[in-house]
Amino acid sequence: MHGDSHDDGQDPKEKINYKATFRTLYGLTVPERRGFITAFVWIMLSTAANLFTPIIAKYIIDTAIPSGKSMMLLIAVGALFLNSMLFLGFSYLLRMRLVRTGQKIMTDLKKRMLAHMLALDLPFYAEFPVGRLTARVQSDTSSLYELFTETTVTIFRDMIMFVVTFGVMFYFSPRLTLLLSSVFPFVLVISFIFLRKSSTLFVLVRKLTSEITGFLTEHINAIALLQAYNREKMAADKLEVINKKKFNAELSGEFMSIIFYLSIILLSPISIAIILGVGGGWAIDGAISIGTLVMFILYIDTLFEPVFRLSEHISIIQRSFAAGQRIHRILERRPAIVDIPKPRYLHSIKEGIEFRNVWMRYSDDAQWVLKDISFNLPKGKSLAIVGETGGGKTTVTNLLFKFYTPQKGRILIDGVDLPDISLNSLRTAIGLVHQDIYLFPGTIMQNLKLMDDALPDSMVHDAIKTIGLETFFKHHSLSKHIVEKGVNLSAGEKQVISLVRAMVLNQEVLVLDEATSHIDPYTERLINTAMQRLIKHKTMIVIAHRLSTIRNADNILLISEGEIKESGTHGQLLERGGVYSKFYKLQFGENG
Ligand SMILES: Nc1ncnc2c1ncn2[C@@H]1O[C@H](COP(=O)(O)OP(=O)(O)OP(=O)(O)O)[C@@H](O)[C@H]1O
Ligand SMILES: [Mg+2]
């Protein structure tokens, strides 16, 4: 699902939606309010210590030195030193508190995103490729770290520091302070221009970052395919292109930040020139003291530091909001299928499953995949679905599991509409063997238990016994380690494992999608025998291309182009001499 122009629903000129993102980001800080308040206390104390330094310096120059008393000078210098020590101590406490709070928010956010994503529906996963979701959980959350450690608290401190410094300076010399204020309109204009220009760049950087993770995930997953077709270099070249784009975007972003930072830094020498030039003139006239001039110069840094830092803050805020917006997009997403307020819980299925005139298409502009499908599967009976590839067989199971919702028609279990049934209880009652088998890295035993260590081993042994596969598992030790995606197993072995996995929970209804297509004739016979046993106890839906598996089903549907073309038992369908009997003869020869 990778493409240069299309990226998880964001267009390239997209700007940051600050309001919505702010709400999400603010929500993250709420549980950590106490941490932020403590940090704020430390930051205020360290700021106060910082503010005192120039005042003590002015006192030393204007009072202690002229007084000629060395004791007074000693005490003042001691106070200056103690003040600096306090500043360091508070700064240490502040850092530690911020790091802890920031890390806590990151971990909680990752946890929340994962929990949220796990509850989302399959259409969501069709829209957001796996690699890019990984990027959102990993790198987008991490790029909020600076926001929550550096920016959030510092911004308040800077505002207060600016106002207080300005006030103190104004107190000692209103004229000089007002004169210095003339540089601030420039700061505003420069900041505004920077903000406008760089917003899209930061969005672009986040997007390209996730595109790279996405690309890597997709291509490393497909490594066997790439190597088989000698496409390694092609993949590397494509990655190079995205990397280059990211490089350029990062560079442009940094370039703007640097220009912005430097143009603001330029204000410092300008201000010192104003103080020494104009203020120096006033000192000659005796209008202000030398100590005040020194104090003003020392304060210039304190006054401008918040303004300098504003440039850093603005880029961190933009970076974080670009990431925050992507996180917000995921968190605001509601699962397409949720339980109604008072759902019905399926404790056990008493009557059966019914599809009544069901119509389904995967999107509004797509073709109908299922057209007016109706069937009835009474409890304890078995239904087989056969038909050409792409005919809509898997779609039937997708609807039964509420992975998707049909546009028209009803699906009923014991006469209750599927939307009224609790999702959890539905999926507890019905077991599924997927057509695409996924195995986790871990032992066969762990996989059979769906990686749930709480399940006892005996459930696995029972399932193996029921299906009669003891011999198979003598050759394939349950402690054998399966590597990622099960590449150290044959396709048939994977199918057997996924079949047993569906038996372990001993659910009432079992849906098998193509579960036996890769199994060798010997194992297939084993499973078929087991299946005949199972069919007696369970309600089953079996989707199969191999007709041998389903000969004994109570009812067989032939679905083609989304419609039920034929239905009946194996015998009835053969007698009819329609498509099913043609299929059957193709597989087993005229006399099969
Ligand atoms: N998630 C999806 N989004 C969009 N279209 C889909 C999706 N899944 C399936 N389709 C389309 O719906 C049609 C029916 O697919 P379905 O998987 O139900 O076929 P099937 O009968 O199970 O085929 P097979 O025998 O090959 O497994 C196909 O044309 C397919 O392209
Ligand atoms: Mg299918």
Domain boundaries, the chain: 18-332, 352-588
Bridge partners (DSSP) listed for residue 559: 564
Phi, then psi, of 154 in degrees rounded to 5 = -60, -35
Which three-class secondary structure state does DSSP give residue 224?
helix
Residue 355 Cα to ligand 1 middle (Å): 18
How far away, in angstroms, is 168 Cα from ligand 1 center?
73
- Mean pLDDT throughout 120-141? 85
Contact 299, 165 (CB under 8 A): yes
The more confidently predicted of residues 541 and 528 is: 541
Check pocket membership of 389 for ligand 1, CB cut-off 6 A: yes
DSSP result, 105-154? HHHHHHHHHHHHHHTS-HHHHHHS-HHHHHHIIIIIHHTTHHIIIIIHHH
- Per residue in 392-401, pLDDT (tens digit) is 999 999 999 9
Range 111-139 average pLDDT: 87
pLDDT tens-digit profile of 213-245? Answer: 889 988 988 888 999 989 999 999 999 999 999
pLDDT exceeds cutoff 60 at 2: no
Per-residue pLDDT of 327-355, as tens digits, reads 998 999 988 888 899 999 988 899 999 99
- Does pLDDT of 310 surpass 80? no
Which residue's CA is minimally distant from atom 10 of ligand 1? 362
For residues 154 and 309, what is the distance between their CA atoms, to the nearest angstrom? 9
Look up residue 60 and give its two tokens: 């030393």
Ligand 1 contact, 369 CB (< 6 A): yes
Out of 143-147, 172-176, 326-330, 522-526, least confident range: 522-526
Q: Which residue has the higher pLDDT, 424 or 198?
A: 424
Quote the ligand 1 centre to 561 CA distance (angstroms): 10
pLDDT of residue 11: 57
State the average pLDDT over residues 555-582: 93
Ranking 195-199, 243-247, 438-442 by mean pLDDT, the lowest is 195-199
- Phi, psi at 324, each rounded to 5°: -60, -35
Q: Please report the atom of ligand 1 found closest to the CA of residue 393.
A: 21
Of 363, 365, 394, 400, the residue with max ligand 1 atoms within 8 A of its CB, to mutate for a pocket test, comes to 394
* Residue, of 270 and 523, whose pLDDT is higher: 270
- Gap from CA of 390 to ligand 1 centroid (Å): 5
- Residue bearing the bigger pLDDT, 520 or 415: 415
- Is 352-588 assigned to CATH 3.90.1570.10? no
Tokens of 434: 């997927």
222 C-alpha to ligand 1 centroid (Å): 22
User: Whole-number mean pLDDT of the chain?
Assistant: 87
Q: In whole angstroms, what separates CA 305 from the centre of its chain?
A: 36
Q: Does the C-beta of 395 come closer than 6 Å to ligand 1?
A: yes
Helix, strand, coil fractions of the chain, as percent rounded to 5: 65, 10, 25
Query: If you average pLDDT over each of 73-77, 218-222, 293-297, 470-474, which comes out highest?
Result: 73-77
What's residue 306's pLDDT?
A: 83
Cα–Cα dist 248/265, whole Å: 25
Which residue, among 509, 525, 520, 513, has the nearest Cα to 468 in the 3D structure? 525
Output the pLDDT for position 234: 92
Query: Ligand 1 mean position to 354 CA, how many Å?
Result: 21
Is residue 5 very low, low, confident or very high in pLDDT (cuts 50, 70, 90)?
Answer: very low
Query: Whose C-alpha lies nearest to ligand 1, atom 3?
Result: 362
Atom 16 (ligand 1) nearest CA: 392
pLDDT for residue 433: 87
Tell me, what's the pLDDT at 4? 36
Identical fold for domains 18-332 and 352-588, yes or no, is: no
Quickly name the fold that domain 18-332 has.
ABC transporter transmembrane region fold (1.20.1560)
Give, using CA atoms, the residue closest to atom 24 of ligand 1.
389
Q: Are strands 539-543 and 555-560 parallel, antiparallel or unpaired?
A: unpaired
Find the mean pLDDT for residues 495-516. 85
Whose atoms come closest to the Cα of 385: which ligand? 1
Q: Is the pLDDT of residue 429 over 80?
A: yes
> What is the rounded CA–CA span in Å between residue 370 and residue 440?
32
For the segment 469-492, the average pLDDT, to the nearest whole number, is 87
Comparison of pLDDT for 526 and 305, the residue scoring more: 305
Give the range among 59-68, 513-522, 566-575 with minimum mean pLDDT.
Answer: 513-522
Question: pLDDT tier at 7 (50, 70, 90 boundaries)?
Answer: very low
The mean pLDDT of 469-488, rounded to a whole number, is 88
Given phi > 0 = left and psi -120 to 50 = alpha, else beta, which region is 375?
beta
pLDDT in the model for residue 544 = 84
Query: Which ligand neighbours the alpha carbon of 391 most closely?
Result: 1
Neighbour-count burial of 261, counting CB atoms closer than 10 A to its CB (0-12 exposed, 13-18 middle, 19+ buried): middle
Say yes or no to pLDDT of 59 above 70: yes
CA distance 94 to 517: 63
User: Is the backbone of residue 167 left (phi > 0), alpha (psi -120 to 50) or beta?
Assistant: alpha
pTM for this model (two decimals): 0.75
- Confirm or reject: Cβ of 392 under 6 Å from ligand 1: yes
Atom of ligand 1 nearest to the CA of 126: 1
Residues with CB under 5 A from ligand 2 (ion): 393-394, 435
Please tell me the number of the ligand nearest to residue 386's CA: 1
The Cα-based distances of 420 to 335, 407, 413 in angstroms read 16, 16, 10
Atom of ligand 1 nearest to the CA of 395: 18
Burial-class residue 546 by CB neighbours within 10 Å (0-12, 13-18, 19+).
Answer: middle
Better pLDDT: 507 or 4? 507
pLDDT band at 13 (very low <50, low <70, confident <90, very high): low
Pairwise CA distance, residues 435 & 577, whole Å: 29
- Specify the residue with its C-alpha closest to ligand 1, atom 4: 362
| Calpha distance 468→323 (Å, rounded) | 53
Sheet arrangement for strand 408-413? 370-378, 352-360, 408-413, 416-417
Question: Which of 127, 359, 369 should be mutated for ligand 1, with most atoms under 8 A from CB?
Answer: 369
Residue range 487-508: average pLDDT? 86
